[in-house]
Structure formats: C-alpha cells, structure tokens
Structure 1
Amino acid sequence: MTNQTIFFISSNHERSLIAEGWASRLNTQNVTYRSAGWFSAKTSPFSIEAMKEICIDLTAIKPYHLKKEELDQADIIVLIQDFEKDEKISLSPLAAKKILTWNILNPDKHSADPNEKWVLFQEICDDIALRIKDLGKTLSSTV
C-alpha cells in the first residue's frame, strides 16, 4: 500500500500543530501527517499547555514551512481557517480538489485577554480532536 500524505495547514501553524498532535494518536498505517503553513511558525504557550493536559507534546512537532506547489502532491489537505477572522487562502485548482475545510476559531484574533484566550485554546483543542477522530474513521474505512 502506498503512503498517503495529509497536510494540516493554517495561517500561523498553531491550529495545524494541534491537528498534527491529535493525528499522531490515530492508529493509521501508511499515513504521514504534516503541520504546515505559509507564514512564520508561531506556537502559543496556550496551545502547548492545552495539549500538555492530554499528554501531547507540541514542542516535539516541528512546523513545516510549506511551498504551495507541494500541495499538488498531497493526498488530503485539511485547511484550518477562521472564516470570520483569517485571510482566505487560495490554492491551485489541483490542490483545491483535495481540500477539507475546517472552520476553527483563531484564538489570537478573538481575544487579547489571557484568561479568555486560554479558554478558547482549550475549546479549539477539543474541536480539533473530534474532527481528527472523524478523519481517522474516514481513513480507516478507505483502507
């Protein structure tokens, strides 16, 4: 069986890192998960702490600076965007056929208050966990 590549992409890597962290827990063979983005990689202490609560170490995952042409070789592209706050990301027509789009809040753009931001990071960690679980079911059923 050939190896599949799944990119999780978001503007600043934080949500894509969380997705890769959760995906690393899936029991899927021959699948490579990559957290990626176009902008400078940024990891919030909130995302690191929220994932640490469930024993996933985001500091062990190195965000990948993506070149758009690489997406043409991906099998699945999970585009993580906050439809209300993030800039729209446009992709090539070939890459666009492989996209799953997840509307997930960008905590940095919703609150400056540290307590509110902490709660938002915990919520998006839970949201992404459920979506990864569904993705894992889909991948298992196509094997």
Structure 2
Amino acid sequence: MSTKPTVLFVCVHNAGRSQMAAGWLRHLAGDTVEVRSAGSEPADRINPVAVEAMREVGIDITANTPRKLDWDTAESSDVLITMGCGDACPVFPGKRYLDWQLDDPAGQDIEAVRPIRDEIRRRVEHLLTELPVAAL
C-alpha cells in the first residue's frame, strides 16, 4: 500500500488544463505523488497547443490520453482539483476538493495558452507545499 498522496485533476475534456496540471505535478514532484487526470466528457486527444506550451518548458505530455472520470478513481484520490467544470464535475464527499478557476485553452493560440500554463505551474507549486511529501 502506497503512502504517497494521490491528486486527481479534472476538467471537462481532460485535454488541456488538467493535462498540463498533471504534467507539472509529475515534473515537480517526481514519484512522491501519484498523479491522475480525467474528464467528465473526455476529448479524443490532448489539445495540441497545450502539448506545445508544455514542450516549451521541457515537459512532454504527448503520450497522455484523455480519460473518463469514474467513481473509483475519484474515491481513491486524496485531493480532487477541478478546473472550470462547473456542474459537470461532481463533488465527492469526504475528499479535499479544490476548484481552480482557469481560462480554457481550447481554441486558443500559444500566446493565450502560455499564461494559463504558467498560472497552473504556480498553483501546482503551492499545492506541493500543502501535501505530505518528502522534499526532492
């Protein structure tokens, strides 16, 4: 049984914000945190502009695929972070629940996605200060 905290990032399509957040957390936390992402209505593929924005900072999310949010994944996560889902992202009782209001990168060019990427990094860095993880 793992003692690592588990963080689940959720957005509607699991193609932009949640994938970038998962990429940042994996990059910054290494294997000290179990990182998951999912969507209430997953897209067919990750937003290529989100992939490009993350590649610019040395993080490769090209192998990731959007996944459907399911009860078991949410139930077994310690922290659930939703991103602009509104009512489409359910609240799971008994879990630490954060709602990060972030612009949606869908349909945006790289100039618009960079500030979203950078804000996600800032929030992930703050989240890491609150998780029970060993320093890298």
Q: Percent identity?
A: 28
The structure whose Rg is larger is 1
CA 73–27 in structure 1, closer or farther in 2 if over 3 Å, else same: closer
Calculate the TM-score normalised by the size of structure 2. Answer: 0.82
| Aligned positions, number | 132
Structure 2 stretches lacking a partner, 5+ long: none
Asked if the contact 1:68–1:91 (Cα under 8 Å) also holds between the matched residues in 2, the reply is no
1:137 is matched with which residue: 118, 129, 132? 129
Structure 1 residue 90: deviation in Å? 4.6
1:34-70 alpha-carbon deviations (Å, 9 max, x no partner): 1111212342221111111011111122333221353
Asked if the contact 1:21–1:61 (Cα under 8 Å) also holds between the matched residues in 2, the reply is no
Measure the CA separation in 1 of the matches of 2:9 and 2:61.
Answer: 14
Measure the CA separation in 2 of the matches of 1:3 and 1:19.
Answer: 18
Asked if the contact 2:54–2:117 (Cα under 8 Å) also holds between the matched residues in 1, the reply is yes
1:21-44 alpha-carbon deviations (Å, 9 max, x no partner): 100122365421011112123422
Aligned-pair RMSD on alpha carbons? Answer: 2.4
Residue 49 of structure 2 aligns with an amino acid whose one-letter code is F
1:49 is matched with which residue: 44, 49, 52? 52
CA 91–24 in structure 1, closer or farther in 2 if over 3 Å, else same: same
Structure 1 residue 118: deviation in Å? 2.1
- 2:75 corresponds to: 72
Structure 1 residue 130: deviation in Å? 0.3
Asked if the contact 1:19–1:129 (Cα under 8 Å) also holds between the matched residues in 2, the reply is yes
CA 75–92 in structure 1, closer or farther in 2 if over 3 Å, else same: same
Calculate the TM-score normalised by the size of structure 1. Answer: 0.78
Which is richer in helix?
Answer: 1
Matches within 5 A, 1:1-143: 2-13=3-14, 14-27=16-29, 29-41=31-43, 42-81=45-84, 87-94=86-93, 97-108=95-106, 117-140=109-132
Asked if the contact 2:13–2:42 (Cα under 8 Å) also holds between the matched residues in 1, the reply is yes
Tell me the secondary structure at the aligned position of residue 63 of structure 1: coil
Asked if the contact 1:28–1:136 (Cα under 8 Å) also holds between the matched residues in 2, the reply is no
